[in-house]
Amino acid sequence: MSKTTSESKQPKRVLIVEDEGDMCLLLNIILTGKNLELDHVKNLKLAAEYLEKEQPSIVILDNKLPDGFGIDYIPTLKKNYPDLKVIMISGFDGAAKDVALENGADAYLEKPFKKEQLFNAIMDQLNDAVPA
């Protein structure tokens, strides 16, 4: 059995669920050119519709969205897509991090975060998802 290098070079799909245009632009700037295929939706309803059709490796999920809180959506994501990695981003600190992780988030980043923190969180999750 041989491993193909083309499989490992395929871009990993990342879904960004974020309603603030400035934050979306920043995420795109940080992640462009990192062998990631970026998709974006602005609310939880559109995220659910997207996930019915596509299979991203990671969801970068904002907490405060127009139609609900990302933190409350994490259990649904994990139940329906157990292999999906979820990185929660939020301006809330303290207890929000604990709740997000208890709800199944794989990582939590508090806004504002450094680009290295975001990239490292994504790479950590992708490395965890790749079978050895």
111: alpha, beta or left, given left = phi > 0 and alpha = psi -120 to 50? beta
State phi, psi for 109 to the nearest 5 degrees. -125, 130
pLDDT digits (tens, 9 = 90+) for 41-77: 999 999 999 999 999 999 999 999 999 999 999 999 9
The confidence score (pLDDT) of residue 3 equals 43
Query: Is the model's pLDDT at 14 over the cut of 60?
Result: yes
pLDDT digits (tens, 9 = 90+) for 69-126: 999 999 999 999 999 999 999 987 678 899 999 999 999 999 889 989 999 999 999 8
Residue whose pair of structure tokens reads 């991203």 in the numeric block = 56
The confidence score (pLDDT) of residue 94 equals 73
pLDDT digits (tens, 9 = 90+) for 26-40: 999 989 888 899 999
The confidence score (pLDDT) of residue 34 equals 87
Domains of the chain: 11-129 (3.40.50.2300)
Q: Which two tokens stand for residue 23?
A: 């934050």
